[in-house]
Structure 1
Amino acid sequence: MTRKVIHVDMDAFYASVEQRDDPSLRGRPGVVAWKGARSVVCAASYEARVFGIRSAMPAIRAERLCPDAVFVPPDFVRYKQVSRQIRAIFERHTPLVEPLSLDEAYLDVTAPLSDLPTATDIARSIRAEIRETTQLTASAGVAPNKFVAKIASDFRKPDGLFVVPPSKVEAFLAPLPVGRLPGVGRVTERELDALGLRSVTDLREAGRDALVERFGRWGRRLHELAWGIDEHPVEPERPHTQISSEDTLESDVPLDALAPHIERMAERTWAAWTRQRERDALEQRPPRRPRTVVLKLKTSDFRILPRSLTPARVPGDAAALAQVALALRTRVELPASTHYRLVGVGLANLGEAGPQVELFDDA
């Protein structure tokens, strides 16, 4: 049976929530971010996007692009509350909901809970329910698989619906630039461009064998995507397998000055892990235990350095977690003059709890 997949993507979600709750922001270029040289843009209203402001952009650059922009500090508690309302709407139509973030999700409506006759009707209904419940707009794409639905949801933004029936998938993809395919980032796009492969049609004409010879298994995947083939199912949300906290520092510091920041992130991560255990208990999930400690650093030139260790015994409290994370600094083999702008500490490989065993170093 051909799958019926909907990708729902809220329109400028954080910024739209702020404009909904504060009428003075409506029609004005709004930026959800803290001001300052170390901050980045969480979201930009459509009025701000006209000036070239985008998510993840340094806030100071956004200020330069639009000096009249209104900066609003993010309120993630409020955004999560709205996201839960939207999630409840999805689940009235299907149990197969795969969230990607607070503001977007895949839905498999091949066998829906509602009696609406088509996936298109379901998408229309969901968008109408979101508008009525939250006073916000959502865009949606409907297609026979996930990646085509995600591309389609962007075609009529904001507040739009775009449907790609199975018979139209190949024609829909053909003229698209290769950068629209999932997994093709800037580096891969430049590499493909150097080979004269700029569009999906170019990938098809190159042929699977040539792509496999040049890119290995990834070449086979590129060939499948070019022809609209994607068998990945919509997977309902699973329990987190990693819990972490990170923070961008007020100023760049050397490695030997990171200890208090690492300890602070370890305390925050342990508190989050404690809350997760309580949720697991309430939802009657089997007890779990984190097996790996992760230290994440970002240098002043934005190089990301993850380091991890699976110790013989897992940490039993925040202090023990901090101790392991601090020890991971010895695995950072960069000059002592290197400075760091971000630090994070995580607990990974959350699996069902069993007896304590000797575990190998995960490196």
Structure 2
Amino acid sequence: MDAFFASVEQRDNPELRGKPVAVGGSKARGVVAAASYEARKYGVHSALASKIAAQRCPHLIFVKGRFEVYKAVSRQIREIFHCYTDLVEPLSLDEAYLDVTENKISMPSASIIAKEIKQRIFEETGLTASAGVSYNKFLAKIASDMNKPDGFTLITPDKAEQLVAGLQIEKFHGIGRVTAAKMQSMGILTGADLRERTEEELVRHFGKVGRYYYRVARAQDERDVQPHRIRKSIGSERTFDADLTEEDDLLERLQHLSEEVAQDMARLQASAKTVTLKIKYFDFTLNTRSKTYLGEFSSADAIYTIARELLRTPQLPAYPVRLLGISVSSLTYQHDRLREGYQLTLEL
């Protein structure tokens, strides 16, 4: 999806259309969660500190995020995907891989399917999407980012290696900012430079992921689309408009976060054994505290009780708090229980 959160806000509020919009944060504090394309022209992007975003674009409009709305729209879009294939691997609320080799409409052209999906998304949600089509996941991902917004890019086998060779290393999916900087310090600036390195050399410098770098430099990626990719954690966090110092205020925010996490767990039919509390102070110092239990839990009350204990252990935060986050891990899913032969209680 194109600038998903910001596009939803512009769709629902006509006064925001055509204007630079940032979802999340405020002119004084916080972090941008998403930026409209009008804002991106000024160098505003996700994960940018709101204060810097406001400096780059003084007329930037900050909008509070509505994550329940974004989740609902995401589910609506995924329903469209499943009209064509059940091999759908979501990466986030606004992105997914689809394997349409065998599809429900018996269409031999992946390009036609992608264009039809784009059209249906626009007709049913009023939002634009960009599609990338190719013969593996790496290339499809690269293609999807090439002509945004409302883009469509096809990478055919005869063009793949040449395209990858000319790609800047920071544009490679799976190579983050830190790794890109390390590669650049080694003289690896493009896909062609990466291809010159041996697999052994890349593994020596980057570990096991070096094998992935070696393959994608040659436009190779054997990963399947995984429709049931298991999430290892579920979480929610908030940056506050003003730093919090009072215990009651902190506990109130923890209650809301616990309810959001519990709702996601219920939707995914998951239970957990570990809770992690994330605390970011006024000076951006980060502190995390975790606790693991033998038994499983999934209710908001249980999550809140554990998070409250973590907040107070070893002591209440000694400095003003700008962000709180709760995540749960050591997850078990209902479908796993069924496969393992758990005995279920039958209610008449």
TM-score range, shorter chain: 0.7 to 0.9
Runs of 5+ in structure 1 lacking a partner?
1-9, 355-363
Residues 69 and 251 (structure 1 numbering): CA distance in 2 closer, same or farther, change over 3 Å?
closer
- 1:271 equivalent to 2:249? Answer no
Structure 1: distance between partners of 2:246 and 2:219: 47
Structure 2: distance between partners of 1:20 and 1:141: 24
Matching residue of 1:295: 277
For residue 130 of structure 2, give the secondary structure of its aligned residue in structure 1.
strand
Amino acid at match of 1:271: E
Residues 191 and 224 (structure 1 numbering): CA distance in 2 closer, same or farther, change over 3 Å?
same
Structure 2: distance between partners of 1:133 and 1:316: 34
Structure 1: distance between partners of 2:176 and 2:313: 28
Structure 2: distance between partners of 1:314 and 1:109: 38
For residue 295 of structure 1, give the secondary structure of its aligned residue in structure 2.
strand
Structure 2: distance between partners of 1:173 and 1:331: 50
Amino acid at match of 1:199: T
For residue 138 of structure 1, give the secondary structure of its aligned residue in structure 2.
coil
Structure 2: distance between partners of 1:18 and 1:337: 37
Structure 2: distance between partners of 1:99 and 1:139: 15
Percentage of pairs with the same residue: 43
Amino acid at match of 2:178: V
Structure 2: distance between partners of 1:329 and 1:33: 25
Matching residue of 1:223: 214
**Aligned pairs (5 A) from 1:250-329:** 250-252=241-243, 260=248, 263-264=251-252, 266-272=254-260, 274-275=262-263, 279=267, 288-302=270-284, 304-314=286-296, 321-322=303-304, 324-325=306-307, 328=310
**CA shift for structure 1 position 26:** 2.6
Q: How many residues align?
A: 334
- 1:47 equivalent to 2:29? Answer no
Structure 2 counterpart of 1:347, from 328, 331, 338 = 328
- 1:208 equivalent to 2:189? Answer no
Residues 303 and 226 (structure 1 numbering): CA distance in 2 closer, same or farther, change over 3 Å?
farther
Q: Which moved more, 1:111-120 or 1:74-83?
A: 74-83
**CA shift for structure 1 position 278:** 5.1
Structure 2: distance between partners of 1:266 and 1:337: 17
Matching residue of 1:358: none
Conserved? CA contact 2:27–2:54, under 8 Å: no
Matching residue of 1:66: 57
Cα RMSD, aligned residues only: 3.1
TM-score, scaled to structure 2? 0.83
Residues 90 and 215 (structure 1 numbering): CA distance in 2 closer, same or farther, change over 3 Å?
same
Greater relative contact order: 1 or 2 (C-alpha under 8 angstroms, separation 6 or more)? 1
Structure 2: distance between partners of 1:205 and 1:50: 35
Matching residue of 1:160: 151
Matching residue of 2:236: 245
Residues 64 and 151 (structure 1 numbering): CA distance in 2 closer, same or farther, change over 3 Å?
same
Conserved? CA contact 1:262–1:322, under 8 Å: no
Residues 276 and 35 (structure 1 numbering): CA distance in 2 closer, same or farther, change over 3 Å?
closer
Structure 2: distance between partners of 1:306 and 1:248: 15
Amino acid at match of 1:348: S
Structure 1: distance between partners of 2:301 and 2:240: 21
Runs of 5+ in structure 2 lacking a partner?
338-348
